[in-house]
């Protein structure tokens, strides 16, 4: 039923100006609009609506993830824009902060200005 509907992703921010700069300038998402309730971006055809909230406590779970074709190059590019990647407790990550799973899938994690956990992955086999 929903397999042909467009997905819209939602996040929350208590720091809207920082979030707007982060998603537009650091991550390079296409800015769509900013109104009293949301900051809206387009991420390769998926709409990301960032809701303005008075306070936010991040869940600790991954809020958004992007599948990329070259994780090492993407991590390097984001680091050059000031993104700091996370070292996850109990996870064996290489010198580039990348975890490599048994099947060759690679993952790296970082946070937005509100502390939402975001990730990048390069799958060994396309899902």
Tell me what pLDDT residue 58 has: 87
Taking only the tens place, the pLDDT of each residue in 58-106 is: 888 999 999 999 999 999 999 999 999 999 999 999 999 999 999 999 9
Is the torsion defined by CA of 84, 97, 117, 46 positive or negative? positive
Q: What share of the chain is helix, strand, coil (3-state, %, to 5)?
A: 15, 35, 45
Four-way CATH pick for 62-127: 3.40.190.10, 3.10.180.10, 3.40.50.620, 3.30.2310.20: 3.10.180.10
Q: So where are the chain's domains?
A: 1-54, 62-127
pLDDT given at position 75: 98
User: 124 pLDDT band (50/70/90 cuts)?
Assistant: confident
- Residue range 28-61, pLDDT digits in tens: 999 999 999 999 999 999 999 999 999 999 888 9
Q: Does CATH place domain 1-54 in 3.10.105.10?
A: no
Tell me how far the alpha carbon of residue 119 is from its chain's centroid. 5
């Amino acid at each position: 039923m929903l397999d042909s509907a467009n997905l819209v992703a939602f996040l929350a921010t208590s720091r809207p100006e920082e979030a707007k700069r982060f998603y537009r300038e650091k991550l390079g998402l296409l800015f769509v609009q900013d109104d009293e309730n949301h900051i809206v971006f387009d991420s390769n055809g998926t709409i990301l609506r960032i809701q303005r909230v008075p306070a936010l406590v991040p869940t600790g779970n991954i809020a958004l993830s992007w599948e990329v074709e070259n994780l090492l190059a993407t991590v390097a590019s984001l680091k050059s824009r000031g993104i700091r990647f996370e070292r996850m407790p109990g996870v064996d990550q290489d010198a580039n902060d990348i975890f490599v799973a048994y099947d060759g899938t690679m993952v790296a994690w970082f946070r937005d200005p509100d502390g939402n956990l975001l990730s990048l992955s390069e799958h060994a086999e396309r899902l």
